[in-house]
Amino acid sequence: MRHIVFLLILLSSLQSHGENFYLTPNESSIINIPVGQTVRVKGKKIILIEDLGKKIKVIGLQQGVATINIGASIYQIYVVQKNKLDFLKAVKEKLRGFLGLNVELREGDIALTGHLYRLSDWQEISELAEIHATSYVINAQIDSDVKEAAKNWIAERLAEAGLAQPLLVFTPKVQAVISDEQKNLATLWDQALSPLGVAQLYEKSQLAIEPLVRVNIVVAEINKNLQSKLGIEWPKVLSANLAPSFSGPTKLEVFLKALEEKGLGQVLASPNLLARSGGEAEFLAGGEIPIKIITPRVKEVQWKRHGIYLKIKPKADRSGRLSIELSTEVSLLDAASVGNDIPSLKTSRMTTHFDLSQAKTIILSGLIRSDWGKNYEGLPQLARLPLLGALFRSENFYNRRTELVIFVTPEIVNDQEPSPKNILPKNWRPSDDSSFDSY
């Protein structure tokens, strides 16, 4: 009982000098009133005052800050939700082991002030915010190295939510500048950023940054007899198909590397194309031939491309859905058909469209080349004798059929990713005899 009396006397002593009170809505507290002192209240929508004679009862109404003046003493009354109040208490306890940071309530928001020296401190406070399901703001000074580390950390957290990293501003408080076009995702942004202490500022963007799409392309020449290895039937005309799922040890790069090692195919090129959603990118493997145009009035040279030409037009959203249009043109020189010393071109064209919910490999195939002939083996000189030469030699016929196959793998990438990945091994190099002209 003596301990309780002592606590009440101590509380009364502190109140006489003024202090801060933290209440939740509908919670109350008692303040003693010295004899002859006038009570003035600012913020009557935030708190309700009941006169109890020598005391007043303060009841929290709604979230906000109110002020009570009792003589020369000033009391700040903060009314906050219970989860936010619990978070405030937990942060105060946590900050005892931190250097440079303070916590306070500013206009109903919990704010970290002072100096933030370590990203780990920020991350621990973020974990507390997630536990108590509340938000806060960071008004602290932040060192430059911590800012850079924080950008990467925030980018990773946003990527988990399917969001791209916006412009981050660290003064006067940490906030993300988000385009107005993203307002339809405001709930998603708030869920991702609030536990991190990052406020959201929506403004009209002068430059809309669309998702970035990377397209990995592999152009390969594969033995026609290997169609069963990929689980699809190669068509007789140029066409596009979705490849079966390559997983575990049957990944695409492993498959292609095995073909090269066994001499059953070769990779001719493996470029990476990058394009913004709504934009386009092009790839040409081959060359251009000059064609002379001569008329009574004009003499000029036009250049016609030949080889493999691929154009991509991707559209993507931040949720990972992807729509891509592929235009393919394969033009081969036909030396057998020449007019006015100008070789003709055999051309195959195709335009196709795919809607993907995740990264998939598209196979463009259908261009087949057949090589046939015969070779001779025999004893020198004797094999060439008329009539009798056939006794000293043998003839072997061969027929080799290969197909040009293009593997296209589009995927949405993080703008902060340092460099594109390659689906082929790092030590892979094109074969010395790789040629698009001879195909």
Residue among 21, 226, 3, 205 at smallest CA distance from 105: 21
pLDDT for the residue numbered 259: 67
Interatomic CA distance for residues 277 and 213, integer angstroms: 7
How far apart are the two ends of the chain, measured CA to CA in Å? 99
Please give the average pLDDT of every successive group of 10 residues along the chain, which has 439 residues: 36 51 88 85 89 88 88 86 89 90 84 92 94 92 91 91 86 87 88 92 70 83 61 51 52 66 73 86 82 75 81 80 85 67 75 81 68 50 50 47 77 61 50 47
| Exposure of 65 in the CB half-sphere (CA atoms within 13 A) | 11
Question: What's the whole-model pTM score?
Answer: 0.45
Look at residue 52 in the predicted model and tell me its pLDDT: 87
Residue 434: C-alpha distances to residues 132, 258, 342 (Å): 61, 17, 24
Residue 268, exposed/middle/buried by CB under 10 A (0-12, 13-18, 19+)?
A: buried
pLDDT of residue 329: 83
Non-local (6+) Cβ contacts of 361 within 8 A are: 242, 243, 246, 252, 407, 408, 409
> In the chain, what are the domains?
2-79 (2.60.40.1080), 82-203 (no CATH), 212-413 (no CATH)
Using CA atoms, how far apart are residues 84 and 384, in angstroms rounded to an integer? 99
Query: At which residue do the structure tokens 């109350």 appear?
Result: 28
- The closest of 361, 370, 438 to 406, measured between CA atoms, is 361
The confidence score (pLDDT) of residue 127 equals: 94
Which DSSP string do the residues of 239-273 spell out, in sequence order?
EEEEPPP--GGG-HHHHHHHHHHTTSEEEEE--EE
Residue 235 carries which DSSP code? P
CA distances from 426 to 96, 267, 324, 430, 433 (A): 49, 14, 27, 12, 20
Strands 281-294 and 272-276: unpaired
Instruction: Write down the pLDDT at residue 9.
Output: 34
Peptide bond between residue 172 and the one before it cis (omega within 30 degrees of 0) = yes
Tracing tokens 């209240």 back to the chain, one arrives at: 41
CA distance 261 to 277: 37
pLDDT for 338 equals: 63
Predicted local distance difference test score (pLDDT) of residue 328: 83
DSSP letters spanning 164-196? ---EEE-SSS-EEEEEGGGGGGHHHHHHHHGGG
Which residues have C-beta within 8 Å of that of residue 223, sequence separation ≥ 6?
Answer: 259, 264, 265, 400, 401, 402, 403
pLDDT of residue 71: 84
Q: Which residues pair with 282 in a beta bridge?
A: 311
Residue 423 Ramachandran class (φ > 0 left, ψ -120 to 50 alpha, else beta): alpha
Cβ within 8 Å of residue 174, ≥6 positions away: 137, 138, 142, 150, 168, 197, 198, 199
Residue 93: its pLDDT value, please? Answer: 92
Residue 391 has what pLDDT? 45
The pLDDT, as a whole number, for residue 322 is 85
Which pLDDT score is estimated for 132? Answer: 92
SS3 call for 119: helix
Q: What's the pLDDT score for residue 302? A: 79
Q: Are 30 and 55 in contact (CB under 8 A)?
A: yes
Q: Which residues of 119-149 are buried (b: 16+ CB within 10 A; e: fewer)?
A: bebbeebbebbeebebbbbbbbebeeebeeb
